[in-house]
Amino acid sequence: MPRGFRIGLPITGWPIWVQERWAAASRAGDRFDDSGCGAHLAGTTRKARQESCGRLLGFLSTNYPNRMSASPETWIDRSTVAEYVSWRSCSAISIAIDLCNLRGALSLICPDTDWSWLLAIARRIEAAAPRQRTKYHLVTSDRLYALGIELMDRAVADANAATRTAHAFQYRDGLLIAFLALVPLRSRTLTALRIDRHLAKVGDFWELDIPAGDTKTGCALDYRLSKEFSARIDLYLERFRGSMPGADKHAGFWPSLQSRPMCSDAIYGAVYRRTKDALGFGVSLHRFRHAAASFWSSHDPVNVRGMKDLLGQASFKTTEAHYIMAQSRLAGRALARVIGDLAKKPAAQLSFLRHLTSGGGRAKA
């Protein structure tokens, strides 16, 4: 298959009756109409399954066009899957993930058919795939928090004469990095933050109130930010946010250059670039969650189980979901308190940061 060849068949190219089944499975019901069997899925999960189904249909349209009009139960068998795997030009892990998503898609289209054999093949492919050791640079929340504070302070100093767009975006990115160090939200929740909907000022403190619908686990989250950090949010909203293009036209907490809230890719790119410029390596959004866990486990190992609450990691059991709702604020305060204690000596902390970025304190692999 030539490099760059688009193998996925868009949903508009699917057989009409397959499109109808997919739409029915994705339909959200109400009090008078039942939901489809896939209505509970997150948007990203549904998209991944749709793309995997589109890739299979692209394969069938090229190699077995007659099957396109047949029932999905007859689309593939074990030998056809073997051909499909050979047809794909990607890693074994990617193939395994694709087959898992394909199994999920076919289960939505044909819920009465047993597709477990496809999942078994995916797991065998994954188990046989060569493992590559992931090399991570050691980074913890205090280091990332210091970087965010440094970016904000530099933006304030440079903007003394006049606030420009560049200063505003630098302050925004510094606030974003420090915010993630204190409250390591998932990308979806971070992107969805809206002023006056998720953030509210109570006295001298800003509080986060994130409803269950904006979290991956379906558990509401509640955090109170420190007084010092709340003051930085005040400065951001009063002085810098208004300097960003079109920021007055929406309530997104993280405005972009396009006069709309930043999307997840834009947030990822901004954080990755800033951390790479300062630290010598980029830090992804998910690494902030690892950084928080590493920091907490090394500074407060006795209470490390509280990380579950800070990160919003919970099962879907009702009782535990309510417990997480009550504990997320306490967990957020605990992490903020420890980081705040370290931040009382910024000169020493920034000296340590420069030492690490110069290579003197970089952990060995």
Q: What is the pLDDT of residue 53?
A: 93
Residue 133, domain member (yes or no): no
Residue 134, domain member (yes or no): no
Helix (H/G/I), strand (E/B), else coil: 245? coil
Q: What is the mean pLDDT of the chain?
A: 79
Residue 257, domain member (yes or no): yes
What's the domain count of the chain? 2
Asked whether residue 234 falls in the same domain as residue 98, the answer is no
Has residue 92 got a pLDDT over 80? Answer: yes
* Confidence class for position 251, pLDDT limits 50, 70, 90: very high
Asked whether residue 151 falls in the same domain as residue 41, the answer is no
More confident residue, 42 or 327: 42
Contact partners, residue 360, CB within 8 Å, separation at least 6: none
Q: Which domain holds residue 54?
A: 11-128
* Mean pLDDT value of segment 233-250: 94
- CATH number of the domain bearing residue 195: 1.10.443.10
Provide Rg for the chain, Cα atoms: 24
Asked whether residue 236 falls in the same domain as residue 101, the answer is no
Domain endpoint, select from 105, 128, 151: 128
Has residue 238 got a pLDDT over 50? Answer: yes
Q: What is the pLDDT of residue 27?
A: 84
* Confidence class for position 28, pLDDT limits 50, 70, 90: confident
Helix (H/G/I), strand (E/B), else coil: 189? helix
Has residue 296 got a pLDDT over 50? Answer: yes
Percent of the chain with pLDDT over 90: 41
Q: What are phi and psi of 360, to 5 degrees?
A: -65, -30
* Mean pLDDT value of segment 298-306: 55
Q: What is the pLDDT of residue 302?
A: 52
Residue 65, domain member (yes or no): yes
* Confidence class for position 317, pLDDT limits 50, 70, 90: very low
Q: What is the pLDDT of residue 342?
A: 60
* Mean pLDDT value of segment 205-231: 82
Angle CA 277–172–193, to nearest 5? 120
Whether the CB-CB separation of 343 and 149 falls below 8 Å is answered with yes
Cα-based distances in Å from 24 to 55, 110, 300, 324: 21, 11, 49, 33
Q: What is the pLDDT of residue 142?
A: 85
More confident residue, 365 or 308: 308
Residue 6, domain member (yes or no): no
Q: What is the pLDDT of residue 314?
A: 47
305: number of CA atoms within 13 Å, CB side?
3
- Residue 203: DSSP 8-state: T
pTM: 0.58
Q: What is the pLDDT of residue 78?
A: 92
Asked whether residue 165 falls in the same domain as residue 83, the answer is no
Has residue 21 got a pLDDT over 80? Answer: yes
Domain endpoint, select from 128, 162, 186: 128
* Confidence class for position 51, pLDDT limits 50, 70, 90: very high
292: number of CA atoms within 13 Å, CB side?
30
User: What tokens appear for 99 in the block?
Assistant: 């087959």
Residue 83, domain member (yes or no): yes
User: What tokens appear for 163 in the block?
Assistant: 């606030």
More confident residue, 326 or 116: 116
Q: What is the pLDDT of residue 36?
A: 80
Asked whether residue 290 falls in the same domain as residue 193, the answer is yes
Q: How many residues does the chain have?
A: 365
Whether the CB-CB separation of 71 and 94 falls below 8 Å is answered with no
Q: What is the pLDDT of residue 322?
A: 33
Asked whether residue 145 falls in the same domain as residue 124, the answer is no
* Mean pLDDT value of segment 154-180: 90
Asked whether residue 76 falls in the same domain as residue 174, the answer is no
- Please write the tens of the pLDDT for every residue from 261-276: 999 999 999 999 999 9
Least confident of 122-126, 306-310, 315-319, 354-358: 315-319
- CA dist., res. 318 & res. 324, Å (int): 10
Asked whether residue 146 falls in the same domain as residue 273, the answer is yes
Has residue 7 got a pLDDT over 80? Answer: no
Q: What is the widest separation between alpha-carbon atoms in the chain?
A: 71
Asked whether residue 237 falls in the same domain as residue 277, the answer is yes
- What phi-psi label fits residue 39: left (phi over 0), alpha (psi between -120 and 50 degrees) or beta? alpha
- CA dist., res. 337 & res. 182, Å (int): 10
Residue 78, domain member (yes or no): yes
Has residue 252 got a pLDDT over 90? Answer: yes
Q: What is the pLDDT of residue 224?
A: 86
Whether the CB-CB separation of 265 and 192 falls below 8 Å is answered with no
- CA dist., res. 48 & res. 105, Å (int): 9
User: What tokens appear for 47 in the block?
Assistant: 């998209």
Has residue 318 got a pLDDT over 80? Answer: no
Asked whether residue 185 falls in the same domain as residue 322, the answer is yes
Has residue 255 got a pLDDT over 90? Answer: yes
Asked whether residue 275 falls in the same domain as residue 305, the answer is yes
